[in-house]
Amino acid sequence: MARRVPDLFLYLGGTHVHHLNYGIFLLSAVAGVLLFARLNDKQRSVCALVYGIGMALTFDEFGMWLHLGGSYWQRASFDAVIVLLGVFGVLAFLPRWQRIRAHHYIVGGLLLASVGLFYLLLFKSLSHANDKLMPRLMELERTGPQ
User: For residue range 42-53, what is the model confidence (pLDDT) as tens digits?
Assistant: 999 999 999 999
User: For residue range 68-107, what is the model confidence (pLDDT) as tens digits?
Assistant: 665 655 666 677 777 777 788 777 777 777 777 888 788 8
Residue 67 within a domain: no
- For residues 89 and 132, state if they share a domain: yes
Q: How far apart are CA 29 and CA 26, in angstroms?
A: 5
Q: How far apart are CA 58 and CA 50, in angstroms?
A: 12
- For residues 76 and 146, state if they share a domain: yes
- For residues 128 and 86, state if they share a domain: yes
The strand pair at 10-12 and 15-17 is best described as antiparallel
Which residue type occupies 79? D
How many structural domains is the chain composed of?
2
- For residues 89 and 109, state if they share a domain: yes
- For residues 50 and 97, state if they share a domain: no
Residue 115 within a domain: yes
Q: How far apart are CA 101 and CA 95, in angstroms?
A: 10
- For residues 51 and 102, state if they share a domain: no
- For residues 81 and 41, state if they share a domain: no
Residue 51 within a domain: yes
- For residues 50 and 101, state if they share a domain: no
Write the DSSP string, the chain. Answer: ---------EEETTEEE-HHHHHHHHHHHHHHHHHH----HHHHHHHHHHHHHHHHHHHTTHHHHHHTS--TT-HHHHHHHHHHHHHHHHHHTPPPGGG--HHHHHHHHHHHHHHHHHHHHHHHHHHHHHHHHHHHHHHHHHHS--
Residue 66 within a domain: no
Q: How many CB atoms lie within 10 A of CB 119?
A: 16
Q: How far apart are CA 24 and CA 77, in angstroms?
A: 16
- For residues 93 and 51, state if they share a domain: no
Q: What is the pLDDT of residue 118?
A: 86
- For residues 144 and 107, state if they share a domain: yes
* Residues spanned by the domain of 134: 72-146
Task: Tell me the pLDDT band of 59, cut-offs 50, 70 and 90.
Answer: confident
Percent of the chain whose predicted confidence (pLDDT) is above 70? 83
| 61 pLDDT more than 80 | no
- For residues 76 and 128, state if they share a domain: yes
- For residues 44 and 12, state if they share a domain: yes
Q: How many CB atoms lie within 10 A of CB 127?
A: 10
Residue 143 within a domain: yes
